[in-house]
Amino acid sequence: MIRHPGTAKYGLALAMLIALPSPVRAELASLGDQALSDVSGQGGIYLSGDVSINEMGGPVENSHFGRCDDATRKCGARFAWRLKETGGWMVLDDIRGNFSFEGLTLRVRHVDSGFGGDGELFNRDVLELGLPNTVRFNDVRFKIAASNTARPTDPGFLQTDIFSVEMRGEVVMEGNLLVFPTGNP
């Protein structure tokens, strides 16, 4: 076992913390049936995520797709859709990279105040998506393109890459997204 010189000091500090009287400590008490019936399922979800898309290369290996370290092959995912029955395809191509976030929250919230006076009039429940403050992108890339065939391995394949985007580092994304039905339900 490796001993760090500071271990004993931490142990002492911890013991002192436990010994200190805590003003907020309260005893647990059982809830009566009546009180319990007023308790509704509360809380929400706290999410942390680390999503990788084709970071090393996808599962398909053929004349077009391959490992990312092979310069003659594409390694990102491809998503193609058509805007006209017999027309060409819009493509989101070469999607790869990794992004991670800490603290995306999801809960139901009752809004009845704030929002410059709008909250009081609104007085309803909303679904609140708490944004994670920062999202860390690690070499996230994608390309917007237009192509005449859905798959790059189809005969006669032609593609025009319109532009590509590359993102790395921490993106600041603060706030809450509130989602609710509109109209007259």
Binding residues for other proteins, rule: CB under 8 A, are 82-90, 111, 115-116, 118-119, 121-122, 126, 131, 143, 145-148, 158-185
Toward other proteins, which CB reaches closer, 103 or 169? 169
**φ/ψ (deg, to 5) at 21:** -70, 135
- Least distance between other proteins and beta carbon 76 (Å): 13
Determine the residue type at 71: A
- Least distance between other proteins and beta carbon 66 (Å): 20
Toward other proteins, which CB reaches closer, 44 or 119? 119
- Least distance between other proteins and beta carbon 99 (Å): 12
The span from the CA of 150 to the CA of 82, in Å, is 8
Q: How far from 78 is each of 11, 86, 94, 95, CA to CA, in Å? A: 54, 20, 6, 7
Toward other proteins, which CB reaches closer, 60 or 127? 127
- Least distance between other proteins and beta carbon 5 (Å): 32
The span from the CA of 121 to the CA of 117, in Å, is 7
Burial letters 120-156, b for 16+ CB under 10 A, else e: eebeeebebbbbbebbbbeebbbbebbbebeebeeee
Toward other proteins, which CB reaches closer, 61 or 112? 112
Toward other proteins, which CB reaches closer, 53 or 167? 167
Q: How does DSSP assign 99-125, residue by residue?
A: EEEEEEEEEEEEE-S-GGGHHHHH-EE
- Least distance between other proteins and beta carbon 131 (Å): 8
**Cβ atoms of residues 67 and 54 within 8 Å:** no
